[in-house]
C-alpha cells in the first residue's frame, strides 16, 4: 500500500509539473499574440500602404496563416498515432480537422493555386471560404425579406418580420438559458474544463480570436484597419493551433498520470 501511495504521489507531482509547463505555454502564446498584433498594427498605422499589402490576398500574413495551419494539421495528425489516452486522440483528431479547414480556407480551397472550381452564385459571388457561407446566408435572408416586402402589404410584412424576430429571440434565449441553467450546465462544465486545463485555455483563446476576426465579415465592416486586424487575428489563431498541437503529448502524459492512481487503487482491491 505504501508503494501505491508513493507511486500516486509521484504521478501527482509529475502531473502538476506538466500542468505548469502547459501554463507557461499559454503565457508564451498570449505574449506572442500581443507581440505580433502590436508589431503589425504599428506597421499598418505608420505605413498604411505596406500594411494593406501585407494583408492582401496571397501575401505575407495570409500565407503565414496557411503555413501555420498546415503545420498544426501535420503535427496533430502525427500526434494522433503517438498518444495513449482516448480523450487525447480525440482532441488531436479534432485539432487536425480544424487546422486543415483553416488552411484550405486561407488558400480559398485551392482556387487560386490549382484552379479548383468553387460554387458561384448567380450574382457572381464566389464562396471561397467558410466565412463566406455566413455572408451568403445573410444576403439570401435580406433578398427574401425584400421579396416579401414587395409582395405583402406593409402591415402583413411588419407582422411577419416581428414574428421572425420573436422566434429567433426565443430560440437564442432558450439556448442561452439551457447553457447557463444550473451548476452542471454544459457551459459551466466547459468553463470548468477550460479553467482546469491550460491546453483548453490555449484553444479557447484561439477560438475567441477567430470569433472576433469574423465580426468584420459578418457585419460587412470595410474599414481598412478592421480588415487588417481580421487577418492578423486569424494568423494568431493559427499559431494557437500550432502551440496546442505541439503540446498534445504533454497533455496526454498528464491525463495518463491522472488515471494511474485510480487504476492502482482498483488493482489493490482485486
φ, ψ of residue 50 to 5 degrees: the values are -70, -45
State pTM to two decimals. 0.67
Strand partners, 126: 120
Count other C-beta atoms under 10 Å from residue 170's C-beta: 10
**Contact 248/76 with Cβ under 8 angstroms?**
yes
Which backbone phi and psi does 181 adopt, to 5 degrees? -70, 120
Domain spans, the chain: 2-139+198-268
Q: Which of 199, 202, 201 is nearest to 238 (CA)?
A: 202
Is the pLDDT at 237 greater than 80? The verdict is yes
* pLDDT over threshold 70, residue 2: no
CA terminus-to-terminus distance, the chain: 13
Mean pLDDT of 215-225: 65
Could you tell me where the DSSP H helices lie in the chain? 2-46, 48-55, 60-80, 86-106, 111-114, 130-151, 154-180, 186-196, 198-218, 224-246, 248-268
27-85 tens-digit pLDDT: 888 899 999 989 988 988 888 888 888 877 767 888 899 899 999 999 999 999 988 88
What are phi and psi for residue 126, nearest 5 degrees?
-95, 130
What φ, ψ does residue 232 adopt, rounded to 5°? -65, -40
Provide the 10 A C-beta neighbour count for residue 119: 10
- Between CA 216 and CA 171 the distance in angstroms is 24
What pLDDT does residue 12 have? 44
Higher pLDDT, 115 or 227: 227
Residue 228 to residue 150: CA distance in whole angstroms: 38
Amino acid at each position: 500500500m505504501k508503494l501505491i501511495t508513493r507511486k500516486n504521489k509521484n504521478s501527482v507531482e509529475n502531473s502538476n509539473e506538466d500542468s505548469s509547463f502547459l501554463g507557461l505555454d499559454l503565457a508564451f502564446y498570449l505574449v506572442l499574440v500581443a507581440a505580433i498584433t502590436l508589431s503589425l498594427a504599428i506597421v499598418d498605422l505608420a505605413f498604411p500602404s505596406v500594411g494593406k499589402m501585407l494583408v492582401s490576398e496571397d501575401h505575407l500574413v495570409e500565407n503565414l496563416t496557411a503555413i501555420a495551419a498546415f503545420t498544426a494539421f501535420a503535427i496533430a495528425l502525427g500526434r494522433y498515432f503517438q498518444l495513449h489516452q482516448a480523450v487525447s486522440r480525440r482532441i488531436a483528431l479534432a485539432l487536425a480537422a480544424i487546422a486543415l479547414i483553416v488552411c484550405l480556407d486561407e488558400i480559398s480551397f485551392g482556387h487560386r493555386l490549382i484552379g479548383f472550381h468553387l460554387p458561384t452564385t448567380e450574382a457572381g459571388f464566389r464562396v471561397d471560404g467558410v466565412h463566406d457561407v455566413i455572408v451568403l446566408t445573410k444576403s439570401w435572408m435580406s433578398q427574401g425579406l425584400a421579396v416579401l416586402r414587395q409582395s405583402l402589404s406593409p402591415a402583413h410584412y411588419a407582422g411577419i418580420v416581428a414574428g421572425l424576430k420573436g422566434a429567433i429571440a426565443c430560440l437564442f434565449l432558450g439556448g442561452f438559458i439551457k447553457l447557463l441553467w444550473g451548476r452542471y450546465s454544459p457551459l459551466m462544465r466547459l468553463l470548468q474544463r477550460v479553467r482546469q486545463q491550460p491546453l483548453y485555455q490555449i484553444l479557447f483563446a484561439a477560438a475567441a480570436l477567430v470569433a472576433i476576426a469574423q465580426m468584420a465579415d459578418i457585419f460587412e465592416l470595410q474599414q481598412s484597419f478592421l480588415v487588417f486586424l481580421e487577418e492578423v487575428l486569424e494568423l494568431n489563431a493559427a499559431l494557437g493551433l500550432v502551440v496546442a498541437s505541439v503540446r498534445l503529448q504533454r497533455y496526454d502524459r498528464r491525463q495518463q498520470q491522472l488515471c494511474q492512481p485510480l487504476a492502482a487503487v482498483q488493482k489493490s482491491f482485486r
